[in-house]
Amino acid sequence: MPRLDRSRKVAFTASVSSSSSSWSTSTLVFPVVITNLGHGYNPNDGVFPASTAGVYVFFVNVQSYNPLSVYVDIVVNGARKVRTMASNHYDAGPNLAVLTLLKLDRVWVKRYSGQGYYSNGPMTTFSGFLIG
């Protein structure tokens, strides 16, 4: 069995710290860090810069703030890769992307439209991990 290169361990999960019914900025920042193996995710600006080239999995779940809808994208260096949406009535909008990144590519969750997200514990979250 091959040895695991511990220097390449990269994984994070973070959530928002509170709900918002008037979010209008571009990047959705997830300041509450649940896991940050490899310390790649930056909870201050919401951006994950790839410390190593490879294939990564990213997941976002956005919970809408009743009665608002929200659309968000997972972006790499500003280019949309996947979009998700959550309509009114506290709906969930999950999506996942498998992405090949170069070292220092930047990944974040960007607002496409809408303005409300909900947090009752870690419901609106962003995660990522290196698979190879």
Helix (H) or strand (E) holding 33: strand 32-37
Summarised one tens digit per residue, pLDDT across range 26-36 is 999 999 999 99
The verdict on residue 46 lying in a domain is yes
Do the domain assignments include residue 1?
A: no
If pLDDT is split at 50, 70 and 90, which confidence band does 19 have? confident
Residue 3 resides in a domain:
no
In a domain, 2, yes or no: no
- The CATH number of the domain holding residue 52 is 2.60.120.40
Is 53 domain-assigned?
Answer: yes
Residue 4 lies in a domain: no
Does 45 map to a domain? yes
Is pLDDT above 80 for 8?
Answer: no
108 has a pLDDT exceeding 80? yes
- Distances 37 to 4, 21, 79 between C-alpha atoms, Å: 15, 31, 25
Tokens of 4: 């695991």
Q: Is the residue at 40 inside a domain?
A: yes
Full residue range of the structural domain in which residue 102 is found: 10-130
Is the confidence at residue 105, as pLDDT, over 50? yes
DSSP for 49-107, please give it.
E-SS-EEEEEEEEEEB-TT--EEEEEEETTEEEEEEEE-TTT-EEEEEEEEEE-TT-EE
Question: Percent of the chain having pLDDT more than 90?
Answer: 69
Q: Are 84 and 63 in contact (CB under 8 A)?
A: no
Q: What is the mean pLDDT of residues 38-49?
A: 96
pLDDT surpasses 60 at 1: no
- Give the count of domains, the chain: 1
The residue ranking higher by pLDDT, 36 or 21, is 36
Assess whether pLDDT exceeds 50 at residue 92: yes
